[in-house]
């Protein structure tokens, strides 16, 4: 056993229930399914208690188990998932470019971000803005992005989990990244000035 031991499973629900539930909900977008996943995670954790090495915190250990449960669930539950395809608006590819497909220099061309890059990560405001930006994505796009970028699931696995094609995945990720970059630039890195 490692230097740290686990707390009493009786208090797991109180300590980690809400966190794990929201984590699952952000990914599966279905409350009963998220609750099931949390339960499966606790049961699996009980069975694997002896193998908890104490290298990570109890919470990240549980999150690790939950991530596997989420992937498993998607694999079992293959169903046609219509992908919402918001045409136009901020997720449209056209708006940022002129008719030749080039940046509009005084409107959309990426700015040179000040404070670049590491210091921003230490600031609470950075994460608040980023979370708000992520919250503005359409649900399906946010789900794809969360699995791929926060959970580092491989592209092929995300496609299999959500039953979508590779090209669909790439389009969703492209739009999500484009929006997040734009949103972060507007709300955190500051006003647009002359290039």
Partner 1 sequence: MQIGPKQDVERLNLKIGPLVGWLIRITPTCKEMTRLLSESMDHPLPFSTKLKMRLHFLICKWCERYGTQLLFLRQAFRRHPDKVDELMGAASPGLSPEAKARLEQAIRKH
In contact, 58 and 37? CB cutoff 8 Å: no
Of the candidate residues 5, 7, 18, 107, the single one contacting partner 1 (CB under 8 A): 18
The single-letter DSSP state of residue 103 is B
Stretch that binds partner 1, among 11-19, 75-83, 84-92 (CB under 8 A): 11-19
Kindly state whether residue 87 participates in binding partner 1, applying the rule CB under 8 A. Answer: no
Rounded Cα distance between 169 and 158, Å, is 8
Rounded Cα distance between 179 and 134, Å, is 9
Residues between 149 and 168 with contacts to partner 1, criterion CB under 8 A: 149-152, 155, 166
Contacts of 21 (CB under 8 A, 6+ apart): 34, 35, 38
Kindly state whether residue 117 participates in binding partner 1, applying the rule CB under 8 A. Answer: yes
Q: Considering the complex, what minimum distance in angstroms separates the CB of residue 80 from partner 1?
A: 22
Stretch that binds partner 1, among 42-50, 69-77, 79-87 (CB under 8 A): 42-50
Kindly state whether residue 194 participates in binding partner 1, applying the rule CB under 8 A. Answer: no
Of the candidate residues 30, 72, 98, 115, the single one contacting partner 1 (CB under 8 A): 98
DSSP string across 25-44: HHHH--HHHHHHHHHHHHHH
In this structure, is the dihedral angle defined by the CA atoms of residues 70, 75, 79 and 80, taken in order, positive or negative? positive
Q: Considering the complex, what minimum distance in angstroms separates the CB of residue 23 from partner 1?
A: 5
Cβ nearer to partner 1, comparing 27 with 79: 27
Cβ nearer to partner 1, comparing 2 with 32: 32
């Amino acid at each position: 056993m490692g230097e740290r031991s686990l707390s009493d499973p009786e208090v797991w629900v109180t300590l980690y229930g809400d966190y794990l539930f929201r984590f699952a909900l952000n990914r599966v977008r279905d409350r009963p399914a998220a609750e099931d996943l949390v339960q499966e995670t606790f049961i699996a954790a009980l069975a694997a208690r002896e193998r908890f090495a104490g290298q990570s915190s109890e919470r990240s250990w549980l999150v690790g188990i939950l991530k596997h449960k989420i992937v498993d669930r998607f694999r079992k539950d293959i169903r046609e998932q219509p992908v919402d395809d918001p045409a136009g608006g901020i997720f449209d590819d056209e708006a940022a470019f002129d008719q030749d497909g080039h940046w509009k220099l005084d409107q959309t061309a990426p700015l040179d971000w000040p404070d670049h890059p590491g210091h921003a990560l230490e600031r609470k405001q950075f994460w608040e803005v980023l979370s708000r930006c992520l919250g503005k994505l359409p649900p399906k796009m946010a789900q794809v992005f969360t699995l791929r970028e926060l959970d580092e699931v491989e592209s092929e696995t995300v496609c299999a989990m959500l039953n979508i094609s590779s090209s669909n995945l790439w389009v969703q990720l492209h739009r999500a990244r484009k929006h997040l970059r734009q949103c972060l630039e507007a709300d955190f890195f500051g006003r647009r000035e002359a290039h």
